Amino acid sequence: MPSSRQPHRLSPSAMRESVSSAVILAGAAAAAAYPMIYYQSLHLVSPLLTRPLNPDQTLVFTIGHALLLFAACLLCALVGFLYSARLNLPGFGSFSRDHRLLPLFFAGGLLLIPGVFFLVDSKFHARLPAYFPADLPWALAMTLGQTFAPEVIARFGQITIGVYLLRWLRFSGHPWPAVLAVALLGMAGSWISQSRLHLDPGLNSFTLSCLCFAFLSNLLFGEVYLRRGLLASLALRLGLELKYPLYAWFLS
């Protein structure tokens, strides 16, 4: 990694294109997550409240969280588009360059599903079956919601920020600390999610399985992003998150 602390600057036209691309990507990620947020507000959030949400409250909850997600994705997409090239990262990636590799990443994600089910999701399904929709449309909504926004935030945003900090600190070599930091954040997010869903995240086998999966999957997605870009990590994540319609098919 070069010793300079400051990446080279983008031209005004490149900056405008990056901002426009960031808005489009953030909007697409938030739109993809909207049905998932609506499903979760109905089947996960509302039952945990002392007074369940009425239809108007459910709509407000969904729109509010979708707007927050859009804001988070926009910030991370701006970071990715404005800084990935300046940091010599693959960034968004190139479909024309990787069109033959993307199906392989997608297939790799599909191949991970059986292991994920037996190690984590079978226990998760037994504890909270509502998290895995039985209806195929809602299952597809979970797939889209769990694919695009998380990758934009964790890979395009957080890892890019981590690599920028490593460059500023004159760190040379493979930027593994950035990937490791995001993996640890993924573990923290898994713990918080379990707490909010009242899954009793004590030091038991179920919790440890979830934390290990969050850690290892973020390491894998992070390495794919560093090597091939966001498109490749999205293809891998999409293949894995197709577990929801497969569970709806086989477990219903």
The reply to whether 1 falls in a domain is no
pTM listed for this prediction: 0.91
| Contacts of range 48-51, beta carbons closer than 8 Å, 24 or more positions apart | 48/197, 48/198
Count of domains forming the chain:
1
The reply to whether 7 falls in a domain is no
**Distance between CA 115 and CA 86 in Å, rounded?**
38
pLDDT tens by residue, 226-247: 999 999 999 999 999 999 999 9
Q: Is the pLDDT of residue 97 over 60?
A: yes
Give me the domain span that covers residue 194.
12-251
pLDDT tens by residue, 174-222: 999 999 999 999 999 999 998 888 777 777 889 999 999 999 999 999 9
Which of the four pLDDT bands, split at 50, 70 and 90, describes residue 50? Answer: confident
Q: Could you give the C-alpha distances from 116 to 46, 110, 201, 219, in angstroms and in order? A: 28, 10, 19, 15
The reply to whether 3 falls in a domain is no
Q: Is the pLDDT of residue 4 over 80?
A: no
Average pLDDT over residues 95-123: 94
Does an H or E element contain 177, and which? helix 176-196
The reply to whether 153 falls in a domain is yes
Sequence letter at residue 77: A
Q: Is the pLDDT of residue 3 over 50?
A: no
State residue 94's pLDDT score. 87
**Average pLDDT, whole number, for the chain?**
92
Average pLDDT over residues 155-170: 95
For helices 205-228 and 230-241, the axis angle rounded to 10 degrees is: 150
**Distance between CA 161 and CA 165 in Å, rounded?**
6
Q: Could you give the C-alpha distances from 112 to 115, 136, 227, 240, in angstroms and in order? A: 6, 20, 20, 6
Handedness of CA 147, 148, 150, 155 (dihedral sign): positive
Which of the four pLDDT bands, split at 50, 70 and 90, describes residue 13? Answer: confident
**Distance between CA 181 and CA 160 in Å, rounded?**
12
User: Of all residues in the chain, what percent carry a pLDDT higher than 70?
Assistant: 96
The reply to whether 28 falls in a domain is yes
State residue 7's pLDDT score. 55
The reply to whether 225 falls in a domain is yes
State residue 8's pLDDT score. 62
The reply to whether 95 falls in a domain is yes
Which of the four pLDDT bands, split at 50, 70 and 90, describes residue 5? Answer: low
> Is 69:28 a contact under the CB 8 Å cutoff?
no
Residues 6+ apart with CB under 8 A from 133: 39, 43, 139, 141, 142, 244, 248
State residue 98's pLDDT score. 85
Which of the four pLDDT bands, split at 50, 70 and 90, describes residue 2? Answer: very low
> Is 138:35 a contact under the CB 8 Å cutoff?
yes
Place of tokens 């895995």: 132
The reply to whether 204 falls in a domain is yes
